[in-house]
Amino acid sequence: MKGNPITTSMIPSIFTLANLFFGFLALIWVIEQQYTLAAAMIVLSVLMDSLDGKVARRLSVSSDFGKELDSLSDLVSFGVAPAILTYQAILYPQPDYVRYIGLGIAALFALCGAVRLARFNMLNITTYFVGVPITFAGGFMALLMFFRNMLPWYIYLVSMLVLACLMVSRIKVAKLGK
């Protein structure tokens, strides 16, 4: 039986799938109410997301498949996982009015992340980002989770709302690490 060996062009996708895997684990840890572990998985997703791009550039490989896989992985790891983590760990335990507002803002965060990724794929600009990258927004929310016993709930609510708006803004953000 002959199998297809891993080719050089597939290597960045391995890091992208690791990003998705850690995003999936973050969601599982939220279900298990292990919020610090969930936040740590999102931080590991950030690391994998930065490596997939670096590896792709280093190997001079890119593909439409890799680009789409990266966006789908980023939506889970930096849009859905941080929104659900923040909602469940911080906003759900609050009074009903905060919970319902928080649910709306958490959904908005994930939806704006999806719009931001779709716009990024369409624009194909290589010198800067239009809007705050979802990786930054999701990573920031995950890092805030490490301070959840020190910060008031409204910091998380406002941060999610501001970051959601910044993701879909037209602000030009410099690309680092190129």
pLDDT in tens, 138-165: 999 999 999 999 999 999 999 999 999 9
**Among candidate residues 159, 156, 178, the one with its CA nearest the CA of residue 88:** 156
Binned at pLDDT 50, 70 and 90, residue 1 comes out as very low
Tell me the percentage of the chain whose pLDDT exceeds 70. 96
Q: Write down the H helix ranges in the chain.
A: 11-31, 35-59, 64-74, 81-86, 96-123, 134-145, 153-167
Mean pLDDT of 120-124: 84
In the predicted structure, residue 8 carries a pLDDT above the cut 50: yes
Does position 128 have pLDDT exceeding 90, yes or no? no
